[in-house]
Amino acid sequence: MGGPELERLIALLAKLPGLGPRSARRAVLHLMKRREALLEPLAAALAEAGKRIRTCSVCGNLDSTDPCTLCRDERRDPAVLCVVEEVADLWAMERAGVFRGRYHVLGGSLSALDGVGPEDLAIPRLVARAREGQVREVILATNATVEGQTTAHYIAERLADAGVAVTRLAHGVPIGGELEYLDDGTLAAALRSRRAL
Ligand SMILES: [Zn+2]
C-alpha cells in the first residue's frame, strides 16, 4: 500500500505491546505527518537508546551506565534488596518513591508451563548477592500472580540459610495483580506492611 519501507515500519511497530497492525498504521501515518516534530527526533532517540542503553550487570536495570545510576547511588541502602520480576516493576517502585534500598530484577517469573526455570532468571545471581554479607534483608516484590508467588517461595527457600531476613509485599497487592499497574499509594502501603516469609 505505502511502499516496502512503510510496510516494514508498520510491521515492526505492530510487534510492540498494545499495538496491532491497525494502530501501527495510524502511528506511522501520524509520524509521516509530523516529520520534524516527531519522526526525526524519535528515530534519533531510538538509535541513541539502541547504542547506549545497557542492562546493569549488578541489578538488571536499564541505563546508559553499568553499574546503573541506582546501584551507584551511595545514598541508597545496600543492606536492603528489593526483588522484582521486570524493569517495569522497578520503575513502578521508583515512581512511588518509597524505597531507598537497592534492586534485583529477575527478568521474569518461574513457570513450569513455559519452561522457565531458576537458571533462566537472575536467581543464581540473587543468591550470590544475598550471601555477599552486605545484605540484611531481601524484599520479594514479585507479582501477586501464581507464577510470582511460586517464584517468591522458591527464592525464600534458596535464601533460608543465607543469614538474611526475607520479606514479602503484603496488603494492598490484589491477587493476580501486577506491580506495574498499581497506584503509588497501594504500592507504598504494600511495601510498608511487608511481612516475613
Ligand atoms: Zn543496577
Question: Residue 178 Cα, ligand 1 centroid: separation in angstroms?
Answer: 22
**Interval between CA 70 and ligand 1 midpoint (Å):** 6
Residue 68 Cα, ligand 1 centroid: separation in angstroms?
A: 4
Grid coordinates representing 178 are: 501486577
pTM: 0.81
Distance CA 183, CA 114 (A): 29
Quote the pLDDT of residue 173.
64
| Å from CA of 91 to ligand 1 middle | 12
Average pLDDT, the chain: 92
Q: Tell me, in angstroms, the distance from the centre of ligand 1 to residue 159's CA.
A: 21
pLDDT band at 172, cuts 50/70/90? low
Collapsed DSSP state (helix, strand, coil) of residue 19: coil
| Ramachandran assignment for 133, one of left (phi > 0), alpha (psi -120 to 50 degrees), beta (any other) | left
Query: Considering only CA atoms, which of 183, 184, 154, 185 is closest in space to residue 168?
Result: 154
162 CB neighbour count, 10 Å cutoff: 17
132 CA to centre of ligand 1 in angstroms = 16
Helix axes 3-13, 21-33, angle to 10 degrees: 120
